[in-house]
Structure 1
Amino acid sequence: MALTRDFRQTVTERAQREPEFAKALLDEAMTMFCQGEPEAARLILRELVNATIGFEQLAAHIHRPSKSVHRMLSAQGNPSMDNLSAIVGALAQSMTATVEVRVLQRA
């Protein structure tokens, strides 16, 4: 029987071991939001929170209940732009990353 590994555990361990991987996850989540895929973006952010600062610390940082933050980042979540901005800002700060938005024109 083949050994399998839990996806979440793999993501968490790699994000903790490789800061650039964590930053790439944040970048991918933001790209997905901008491209109209908010459900997938929220799930990536959820995994990133679990792998980095954790929901309790994030909730304290953005002054929201932990349970509310969990709901915001669920597949059916619907965070306001204020909450989403606070979440991304807290993640970026914890990873010493900079979030930069660039609009590219398509040919």
Structure 2
Amino acid sequence: MVLTRDFKETVKERAVRDPAFAKAMLDEAATAFLNDEPQVARLILRDLVNASVGFEALAMETHRPSKSLHRMLSEKGNPSMDNLAAIFGALRKQMGVGLKAQVIEGAG
């Protein structure tokens, strides 16, 4: 018999026990947004929120309703830049990290 685990649970457990993994998820979400892949970025952020701060605590930190945050980070969500900034800011604060964009010479 093959043992299987729910992917989301595996991601959540890894993010909880490995702060570097959680930080890499945040970095990947920011990179996806900057590379015009907003759907991918939203889904990564959703998994990261579930694995770290949780939607209720995020709602308190961002002063936005939890249900709205769930919708924003859904597959078809459409968060404003203000909301994205609030979400990234709350996650950065929770993880104690900064974000920095850099241009790679010769790219694009």
Q: TM-score, normalised by structure 1?
A: 0.97
Structure 2 match to 1:11: 11
The 3-state SS of whatever aligns with 2:90 is helix
Aligned to 2:106: 106
Aligned pairs for 1:55-94 within 5 A: 55-94=55-94
Deviation at 1:25, TM superposition (A): 0.2
Separation in 1 of the partners of 2:55 and 2:77? 15
Q: Which amino acid aligns with 2:9?
A: Q
Q: Percent identity?
A: 63
Q: 1:16, CA displacement in angstroms?
A: 0.4
Question: What is aligned with 1:97?
Answer: 97
Structure 1: segments with no counterpart, 5+ residues? none
What's the offset of the Cα at 1:47? 0.3
- Please give the root-mean-square deviation of Cα atoms over the aligned residues, in Å: 0.9
Matched position secondary structure for 2:106: coil
- Per-residue deviation, 1:106: 2.3
Partner deviation per Cα, 1:47-95 (whole Å, 9 max, x = no partner): 0000000000001111000000000000100000000000001001001
> For the residues of structure 2 that align with 1:5 and 1:45, how far apart are their CA atoms?
21
CA drift of 1:105 comes to 2.7
SS in 2 for 1:3: coil
Runs of 4+ in 1 over 4 A off after TM superposition: none
* TM-score normalised per structure 2: 0.96
